[in-house]
Amino acid sequence: MARDLGGVLILLVPVLLFVWRTGAGGLDVDQFLSRSILEFSSSSAATPQRTWKANGSRNSLPMVGDEDGMEEILRLARRPEAVEWVKGVRRRIHEHPELAYEEVETGRLIMAELEGMSLGYRFPLATTGIVASIGTGEPPFVALRADMDALPIQEAVEWKFKSKVPGKMHACGHDAHVAMLVGAAKILKAREHLLKGTVKLLFQPAEEAGIGAKRMIEDGALKGVEAIFALHVSHELPTSVIGSKAGPLLAGCGFFKAEIRGSEGPAGNMHYSVDPILAASAAVVSLQNIVSREANPLDSQVVSVSTVNGGSNLDSVPESVTLGGTFRAFSNTSFYKLRQRIKEVIITQASVYRCTASVHFFENEGFYPPMVNNEIMYEHVKKVAISLLGPKNYRVVSPLMGAEDFSFYSEIIPAAFYYIGVRNESLGSIHSAHSPYFMIDEDSLPVGAAVHAAIAERYLSEFGEIIVNSKKASARAIGSIKRKANEYLDG
Ligand SMILES: [Zn+2]
Ligand SMILES: [Zn+2]
């Protein structure tokens, strides 16, 4: 069989070369793509320039019209009744936080809002997830994602809409993310006749625990989707300021737990036992050498041992010791190398001390690849944010060692992740996510809705035609290759 396949390939190679060089049937994909990108770049350069002042307010200089719809999108988001409504959505979710895969009431609220807008949706995906659609129902498809889950934290902020569920709190702003995406749905619905394709809204469970993004993908949430975008609230950026960067933005994050086994024995006569405490101590020290002695110093990485447990009797050594921690890196290569070296170091160090060891990596619960922004999608976010809010409301941010399961989407299709500021010192919204004092400036909600909507709408109008044309060209190319191959084989 292998020989037969080789024969067909030998026959096809000259055909493929011929077709590729002559561009038969409009075939030359390289030329087509570079032409498309050039055309896209030149049309981007021709985008009308506006002038702005801080906080997204327009100044009094003459405007150039609203061909790209930015004025109208902001106007729709900032209508007083829309602002009150989107704040109300967020407050209802904030009062009833639900943990990973338990987002039942949150989902009901979302579906009721979607039904109120006469939007179709799929439910459930990944147990409690929802995917709604707006637009033509036809390709191209672009996706926007919001995570829905809360954290097992007791809210310490005293305010009217404080969490009503003891020990649970939206301390990472996912209530705001849902409200902003529902807000975007309303704006996009009002502009549905202008959409040149379909926007998919992904309401995803279990970002904090349980890698809900991976389950959403397994349940088909990205079917046909060409690109995906998401935002996260940030207490480091002032209210409604957008921030992001090209390339690696958030680290890949994994956790490990090892058990080192020896044999119990009297601490006064150690030759009767095999000491797992000494082996674990050597393993902890050796784990620190992975980053300090094996990693490129320009490629940021972390290995931290955060727990060691073993023994309770001062006069005997225990049977076993457990130790564990986390590891982070900004590229898949470095990330998976860390995983491999952590396992090797623990098992090998244990054997030096006559112990055995096993290492567990929690790959189905908390194993996040690095979040890397696609360069072109990042530029799209930046361009739309500046176009909508002005250059003073856009910042390039530094990468962080935190993690996000949005990286599962970005591993598969072009994606961009960005922050929206919620920091307002006069309100006290200065605490980091996962703090019991975490709170947001709700004035960011309508702006987040507008940025979501603008990113999706403009993606469809600016990239949609390129994607549809390139797919048609690919289909023509494949048809042409098949025809030429058949002719060659028949002849
Ligand atoms: Zn979080
Ligand atoms: Zn979060």
Mean pLDDT of 99-106: 98
For domain 252-360, give its CATH number from 3.10.20.340, 3.30.70.360, 3.40.50.200, 3.30.950.10.
Answer: 3.30.70.360
So what's the pLDDT on residue 62? 35
Q: How confident is the model at residue 366 (pLDDT cuts 50, 70, 90)?
A: confident
CA 98 to ligand 1 center in whole angstroms: 13
Q: How confident is the model at residue 3 (pLDDT cuts 50, 70, 90)?
A: very low
Structure tokens, 45: 């350069």
Mean pLDDT of 143-148: 98
CA 366 to ligand 1 center in whole angstroms: 13
- Say if residue 189's pLDDT is above 90: yes
CA 479 to ligand 2 center in whole angstroms: 46
Q: What percent of the chain has pLDDT over 90?
A: 79
pLDDT digits over 269-282, tens only? 999 999 999 999 99
Q: What percent of the chain has pLDDT over 70?
A: 86
**C-alpha to C-alpha distance for 229 and 200, rounded to whole angstroms:** 11
pLDDT digits over 373-383, tens only? 999 999 999 99
Alpha helices for 79-167 (secondary structure H): 80-95, 104-116
Report residues near ion ligand 1: CB below 5 Å. Answer: 172
> Which one-letter amino acid corresponds to residue 222?
L
Average pLDDT, the chain: 88
So what's the pLDDT on residue 51? 55
**C-alpha to C-alpha distance for 378 and 376, rounded to whole angstroms:** 5
Q: Is the backbone of residue 55 left (phi > 0), alpha (psi -120 to 50) or beta? A: left
CA 171 to ligand 1 center in whole angstroms: 7
CA 403 to ligand 1 center in whole angstroms: 9
Report which bound ligand comes closest to the CA of 433: 1
Superfamily of the domain at 54-249+370-471 = Zn peptidases (3.40.630.10)
DSSP secondary structure letter of residue 55: G
- Say if residue 16's pLDDT is above 70: no
pLDDT digits over 151-182, tens only? 999 999 999 999 999 999 999 999 999 999 99
Please give the distance of CA 48 from its chain centroid, rounded to a whole number.
Answer: 30
Buried/exposed 228-255: b ≥16 CB within 10 Å, e otherwise: bbbbbbbbbbbbbbbbbbbebbbbbbbb
pTM: 0.83
CA 402 to ligand 1 center in whole angstroms: 9
Mean pLDDT of 465-483: 78
So what's the pLDDT on residue 17? 37
Q: Where are the domains of the chain?
A: 54-249+370-471, 252-360
- Say if residue 411's pLDDT is above 60: yes
Q: How confident is the model at residue 26 (pLDDT cuts 50, 70, 90)?
A: very low
Report which bound ligand comes closest to the CA of 440: 2
CA 147 to ligand 2 center in whole angstroms: 7
